[in-house]
Amino acid sequence: SPGATVHSEWRGLWNDGLWHYVEGSGRNLLHDPVVAGIVINFRDITERKHAEEALRSSERYFRTLIQTALDATVVIGRDGTISYGSSSIEPPRGYKPEDVIGTNCFATVHPEDMTKAMNLYNELMQNPANLIRAEGRVWHKDGSWRIVEAIARNLLDDPIVAGIVVNYRDVTERRQAAEKLQELYRQERDLRQQLETEMKRRVEFT
């Protein structure tokens, strides 16, 4: 194709004995009597290629950490829409990531916890540097309400993230166990008071 310019990348052997990545373009000017040749312009892009590969490796590394973490991770946009969900969201919610992406994050919040959730969201918007910790109830796919413990941070101004990052875990069983333990403590305290009262009554009677 005389006159056409072709862009390409390849590896070339340098005088240091190493293969370098090269980015270049060539144009057939054999028909041009002034040039009478194929003109090739190229540059060494080895460092850029290595940097890109390092970045891809880093992304794969952190993506693997997030996807295999016990805590679920979601990224929420400025309008409350979920733009990302890790695979760990399925245990506490019953939904897969593709089920929640594009939905509103407040859609599954318990009605009684909605005011608290909105206040926390507003606090995140007004104080981006703050790390917010909270606890609330969310709807599970099986029709139950689950208690989750969450940590959120506003990274909307970070061009890489551009969202509010929320990490959360299901603490329903832990809360239920704690409540049951508290109930046992109350029962034990009441029984002890009854025994002390009975013993006092008997001593007075004697």
Q: Quick one: average pLDDT of 163-170?
A: 89
Torsion-angle region of 94 (φ positive above 0: left; ψ -120 to 50: alpha; else: beta): left
Residues 6+ apart with CB under 8 A from 49: 21
d(CA 92, CA 146): 7
Q: What is the mean pLDDT of the chain?
A: 86
Q: Quick one: average pLDDT of 130-149?
A: 89
Give Rg (Cα) of the chain.
32
Amino acid of residue 85: G
Q: Is residue 193 very low, low, confident or very high in pLDDT (cuts 50, 70, 90)?
A: confident
What percentage of the chain reaches a pLDDT higher than 90? Answer: 24
Amino acid of residue 62: F
Size (the chain), residues: 206
Residue 193, H or E segment: helix 172-205
Residue 131 bridge partners (DSSP):
153
pLDDT digit string (tens) for 30-88? 888 898 899 999 999 999 888 888 888 777 766 666 665 668 888 999 888 999 888 77
pLDDT digit string (tens) for 6-15? 999 999 998 9
3-state secondary structure (DSSP) of residue 75? strand
- Of residues 41 and 184, more confidence is placed in 41
d(CA 16, CA 132): 54
Amino acid of residue 76: I
d(CA 70, CA 72): 6
- Of residues 17 and 92, more confidence is placed in 17
Per-residue pLDDT at 178 exceeds 70: yes
Per-residue pLDDT at 22 exceeds 90: yes
The pLDDT of residue 160 is 81
pTM above 0.75, yes or no: no
Q: Quick one: average pLDDT of 127-146?
A: 88
